[in-house]
Amino acid sequence: MKTIISNIDINDIDLNEIKKHAKLIKEGNTVIFPTETVYGLGANALNENAVKKIYEAKGRPSDNPLIVHICDKEEVYNLAEDISEKAKIVMDNFWPGPITIVLNKKDIVPKTTSGGLETVAIRMPSNKIAQAIIRESGVPIAAPSANISGRPSPTKGDHVKEEMDGRVGGIILGGDCNFGLESTVLDMTEEIPMILRPGSITKEELEKLIGDINLDPSLEKKEDNKKAKAPGMKYTHYSPNADVYIVSGDEQSVIEKINNMYKENMNNNLKTGVMCINKNIHKYEGLAIGLGNSLEEVGSNLFSALIEMDKHNIDIIYSEEFPNSGVGRAIMNRLLKSAGYKVIKA
């Protein structure tokens, strides 16, 4: 398929370029666009045939529901019902922004979009290009991350183009995604809301506003979460070509352990890569990619680092461990999945 590709400057949005892609969406086609979390692969959320093209382009299992993106909070009332006071508080405080809420769906949302569920996940992104394409299309846009199913989510234009050119109707390249981790998914269909997927809006921040929040129990376990309530969480995820391991322990032991394994791997002709915080880059032998100086930076660089490792034909990636609270919870969730839950004790 011929893909229409446009470069759009987020600080000076060319509406004529946006309109080209909005036309594709209106015609039932797929368009990739940047959001503040990761790049999304979108289609008209209310058109079943269009939504099917998303699943095809990604090779995504059909029971893995999509997030519906809107550009106006009021649109929620057209798509969902039983919207609680707590849900309104979350929308008022965090939208536009990186949190998705799960609500009971109205009939207008096809089951293809909701992965067969009676609920629908909705988000209003803050990225101005995302808002412009939704507004110009005139419809809510269902958009999962713009990667082939199972691969790390793309956060940079180059990575999107390399993976998706030829698989979709349009691609809007609009720079790097600033959060770099997918949105927090919060189920608001029960009295006590439940985080189904951790993201950069944290449990702690939400609790300050609306009181108790549960975590999907499968998130607490450092093992395969086949029983996860967000259907997408049970699938293999964020996997680069390399085999990923998390190395846990005190900092000095982790560095020594990784350098020892590096030597062993060299003897076995295996290329090793390390993902670490910036201050440790020079302490590792071989290729070390710094993920940043703060947890926020680590979150925003994690997926692109995994993709970069593939470009270096790395066979084995070792990652340092991060604290499992605040934004760290989202980082460790993605890292553990990427590693297939393989943790080495240093």
The footprint of Mg ion (CB under 5 A) covers 145
Class of residue 161 by CB neighbours under 10 A (exposed 0-12, middle 13-18, buried 19+): middle
Instruction: Please identify, among the stretches 132-140, 217-225, 231-239, 265-273, the one whose residues bind ligand AMP according to the rule CB under 6 A.
Output: 231-239
Closest-by-Cβ residue to Mg ion is 145
Would you say 66 or 213 has its CB closer to ligand AMP?
66
**Which amino acid does the sequence have at 281?**
I
Q: Which long-range contacts (CB under 8 A, 24 or more apart) does 18-22 make?
A: 18/129, 18/132, 18/133, 18/136, 18/172, 19/136, 20/170, 21/133, 21/136, 21/170, 21/172, 22/133, 22/136, 22/137, 22/138
Would you say 66 or 289 has its CB closer to ligand AMP?
66
64 binds ligand AMP (CB under 6 A): yes
Nearest to 225 by CA among 111, 341, 120: 341
225 binds ligand AMP (CB under 6 A): no
Choose the contact partner of 340 out of ligand AMP, Mg ion, none; CB within 5 to 8 A by kind: none
Min separation Cβ 153 and Mg ion, Å = 5
Check: CB of residue 333 under 8 Å from CB of residue 298.
no
Count CB atoms within 10 A of the CB of residue 42.
Answer: 37
CA–CA distance, 302 with 48 (Å, rounded to integer): 33
232 binds ligand AMP (CB under 6 A): yes
Class of residue 5 by CB neighbours under 10 A (exposed 0-12, middle 13-18, buried 19+): middle
Residues 118-177 that bind ligand AMP (CB under 6 A): 119-121, 144-145
Check: CB of residue 10 under 8 Å from CB of residue 177.
no
201 binds ligand AMP (CB under 6 A): no
Residues 75-104 that bind ligand AMP (CB under 6 A): 102
CA–CA distance, 57 with 66 (Å, rounded to integer): 13
Would you say 185 or 316 has its CB closer to ligand AMP?
185
Instruction: Please identify, among the stretches 7-15, 60-68, 200-208, 310-318, the one whose residues bind ligand AMP according to the rule CB under 6 A.
Output: 60-68
Would you say 114 or 272 has its CB closer to ligand AMP?
114
DSSP helix/strand/coil, 170: strand
CA–CA distance, 158 with 165 (Å, rounded to integer): 10
219 binds ligand AMP (CB under 6 A): no
Would you say 184 or 272 has its CB closer to ligand AMP?
184
Min separation Cβ 3 and ligand AMP, Å = 20
182 binds ligand AMP (CB under 6 A): yes
The H or E element spanning position 243 is strand 243-248
67 binds ligand AMP (CB under 6 A): yes
114 binds ligand AMP (CB under 6 A): yes
Binding residues (CB under 6 A) for ligand AMP: these are 64-67, 102, 114, 117, 119-121, 144-145, 182, 185, 196-197, 230-233
